[in-house]
């Protein structure tokens, strides 16, 4: 068992083209830090100084983690975490 | 290999323009979903900025639509938004916030209300390249 992590297309270059990888249970930020050990560079694309970047949205199953405990949200085995860059411009 | 042209059925172009006009004077935004660069469906999205000079898709709606697209085997062929008062070229903000380099960015300029201008661009590493739109 593991956490299922959905990788958005722009970050799949860092995961050997995989759109789904396994993550370790813990907090969201520890999950991202662990992902960065296997896929170097992915961490800084998602977070900065332990905080999720402004234009990155993260969902635990169907909930936006901003409405849970943000970076500190606990993730368990079998949960699904989706990383979704915002779509914005001017 | 990605095809060079963005192919959009005429009725979907009309749907996109209509959406941009409905949201005018604010910016409208949405997703052109399809296979590779052939569009099959328009998703009209909510611009949470409610602004005439910027847009951000409502994150939860975006998440839901992307999930539906994945389930239907559709790709995000392009992301569109309107420029109510500026020309059809990507703004500095469009370039800075182009987080989906594999999707094209379609801009609908409404400066000329009678004849909206539409162009598609690839925005990669801060570089812009126009891609032809084929309306079928
Ligand atoms: Zn723009």
Interface contacts A/B by beta carbons within 8 Å: 66
Q: Of all residues in chain B, what percent carry a pLDDT higher than 70?
A: 98
Sort out which chain A residues have CB atoms less than 8 A from B52's CB and list them.
none
Superfamily of domain covering A3-85: Beta-grasp domain (3.10.20.30)
Tokens of B105: 């960015």
Q: Separation of B127 CA from ligand 1 center, angstroms? A: 15
Dihedral sign, CA of B9, B65, B45, B133? negative
Q: What is the pLDDT of residues B31-88, one digit of tens each?
A: 999 999 999 999 999 999 999 999 999 999 999 999 999 999 999 999 999 999 999 9
- Cβ atoms within 10 Å, residue B43: 22
Sorted by where each begins, the domain ranges of chain A are 3-85
CATH number assigned to the domain with residue range B5-135, chosen from the 4 options 3.40.50.10300, 3.40.140.10, 3.40.50.300, 3.40.50.12160: 3.40.140.10
Q: Separation of B32 CA from ligand 1 center, angstroms? A: 16
Write the residue in A57, A86, A90 that is nearest to B94 by C-beta. Answer: A90
Distance in Å, alpha carbon of A8 to nearest chain B alpha carbon: 9
Sort out which chain B residues have CB atoms less than 8 A from A55's CB and list them.
97, 99
Q: What is the pLDDT of residues A59-86, one digit of tens each?
A: 999 999 999 999 999 999 999 999 999 9
Distance in Å, alpha carbon of B19 to nearest chain A alpha carbon: 17
pLDDT for the residue A1: 80
Is 0.85 exceeded by the ipTM?
A: yes
Chain centre distance of CA B123: 12
Distance in Å, alpha carbon of A77 to nearest chain B alpha carbon: 21
Average pLDDT, chain B: 96
What would the DSSP string read from start to end of A11-68? GGGGGTT-SEEEE-SEEHHHHHHHHHHHSTTHHHHHEETTEE-TTEEEEETTEEGGGT
Sort out which chain A residues have CB atoms less than 8 A from B62's CB and list them.
57, 84, 86-87
C-alpha distance across the termini of chain A, in Å: 42
Q: What is the pLDDT of residues A15-69, one digit of tens each?
A: 999 999 999 999 999 999 999 999 999 999 999 999 999 999 999 999 999 999 9
Write the residue in A10, A57, A90 that is nearest to B53 by C-beta. Answer: A90
B80 at A interface, C-beta within 8 A: no
Cβ separation of B56 and A9 shorter than 8 Å?
Answer: no
Q: Element (H or E) spanning B7, and its range? A: strand B6-8
Cβ separation of B57 and A85 shorter than 8 Å?
Answer: no
**Above 60 in pLDDT, residue B1?**
no
Q: Coil, strand or helix: which one is B20?
A: helix
pLDDT for the residue B2: 62
Q: Do the beta carbons of residue B43 and residue B31 sit within 8 Å?
A: yes
């Amino acid at each position: 068992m593991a956490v299922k992590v959905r990788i958005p297309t722009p970050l799949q270059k860092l995961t050997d083209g995989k759109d789904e990888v396994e993550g370790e249970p813990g907090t969201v930020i520890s999950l991202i830090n662990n992902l960065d050990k296997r896929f170097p560079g992915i961490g800084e694309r998602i977070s900065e100084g332990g905080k999720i970047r402004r234009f990155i949205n993260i969902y635990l199953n169907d909930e936006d983690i901003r409405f849970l405990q943000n970076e500190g949200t606990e993730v368990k085995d079998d949960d699904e975490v989706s990383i979704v860059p915002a779509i914005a411009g001017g | 290999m990605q095809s060079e042209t963005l192919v959009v059925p005429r009725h979907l172009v009309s749907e996109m323009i209509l959406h941009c006009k409905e949201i005018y004077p604010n910016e409208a935004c949405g997703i052109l979903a399809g296979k590779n660069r052939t569009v099959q469906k328009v998703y009209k999205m909510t611009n949470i900025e409610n602004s005439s000079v910027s847009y951000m898709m409502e994150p939860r709606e975006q998440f839901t639509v992307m999930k539906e697209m994945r389930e239907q085997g559709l790709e995000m062929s392009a992301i569109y938004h309107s420029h109510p008062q500026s020309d059809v070229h990507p703004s500095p903000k469009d370039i800075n916030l182009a987080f989906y380099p594999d999707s094209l960015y379609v801009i609908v300029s409404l400066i000329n209300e009678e004849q909206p201008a539409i162009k598609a661009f690839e925005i990669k590493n801060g570089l812009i390249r126009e891609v032809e739109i084929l309306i079928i």
